[in-house]
């Protein structure tokens, strides 16, 4: 089953194609000395118009958009580490179902974000997971690897501080040491904070003038906000049974 963000992206693609057809048929009619005759686009003309629209959309991005997408890849990757622990740590069925849903959705979004960067000639973070350890290998546009870095830290500011909502290594180790109901409690508490951090990153993105003009970035950020807020509410209800 496709994740909601993927379905929305596909729907947007069909809308873009439909708009291109309507616009160019109208323009063709206007160029016939006032007659109402409409000239159908040839396959080659249709492809050229479509590609021009795609190329144009790829020019409407900012440095802040790139930083958001790059950071969100590492942020999502830590959620995969946390969720991968659920089946082996005695998690309840409801927590395992939630963890599986997070894995499916965020793997898809990581792939979409990597392709977005690649299409725009930007360095692409390649995720490396080894147990609880997460590193990011930055792939340059020419395919060469630029450098490795520990994921979770701000990848653009040059400062060694964590992105919003990211768990520390000590918190990950505490989660890994837990089992059964205690694992569920720590997982839900940690993932609520983690999702909240992703929402904060969206708010920080749109606080910068000119961001989100790229349609794909806008859809990604909007989907992240809606999906994470929805899951936070669900997890808060689940967490009630583990609190006094």
**63-242: CATH homologous superfamily?**
Ferritin, core subunit, four-helix bundle (1.20.1260.10)
The residue ranges of every structural domain in the chain are 4-57, 63-242
Helix (H) or strand (E) holding 26: helix 4-30
Is pTM beyond 0.85? Reply is no
CA separation for the pair 221, 203 (Å, rounded): 9
DSSP 56-88: HHTT---HHHHHHHHHHHHHHHHHHHHHHTGGG
Which pLDDT tens digits describe the chain residue by residue (244 residues)? 444 444 444 444 344 444 444 454 445 444 444 444 456 667 776 676 666 665 555 568 999 999 999 999 999 999 999 999 999 999 999 999 999 999 999 999 999 999 999 999 999 999 999 989 988 899 887 655 555 555 444 444 444 568 999 999 999 999 999 999 999 999 999 999 999 999 999 999 999 999 989 999 999 999 999 999 999 999 999 999 887 5
In angstroms, what is the C-alpha Rg of the chain?
A: 22
């Amino acid at each position: 089953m496709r994740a909601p963000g993927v379905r929305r992206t596909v729907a947007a693609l069909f809308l873009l194609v439909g708009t291109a057809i309507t616009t160019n048929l109208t323009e063709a009619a206007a160029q016939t000395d006032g007659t109402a005759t409409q000239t159908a686009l040839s396959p080659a003309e249709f492809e050229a118009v479509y590609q021009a629209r795609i190329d144009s959309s790829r020019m409407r991005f900012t440095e802040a958009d790139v930083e958001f997408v790059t950071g969100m890849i590492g942020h999502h990757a830590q959620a995969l580490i946390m969720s991968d622990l659920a089946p082996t740590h005695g998690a309840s069925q409801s927590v395992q179902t939630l963890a599986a849903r997070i894995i499916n959705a965020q793997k898809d979004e990581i792939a979409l974000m990597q392709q977005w960067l690649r299409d725009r000639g930007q360095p692409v973070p390649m995720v490396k997971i080894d147990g609880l350890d997460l590193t990011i290998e930055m792939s340059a546009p020419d395919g060469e690897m630029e450098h490795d870095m520990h994921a979770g830290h701000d990848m653009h500011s040059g400062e060694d501080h964590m992105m919003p909502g990211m768990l520390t290594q000590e918190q990950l180790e505490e989660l890994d040491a837990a089992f059964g109901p205690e694992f569920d409690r720590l997982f839900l508490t940690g993932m609520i904070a983690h999702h909240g951090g992703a929402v904060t990153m969206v708010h920080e993105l749109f606080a910068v003038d000119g961001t989100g003009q790229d349609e794909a970035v806008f859809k990604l950020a909007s989907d992240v906000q809606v999906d994470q807020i929805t899951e936070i509410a669900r997890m808060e209800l689940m967490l009630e049974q583990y609190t006094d």
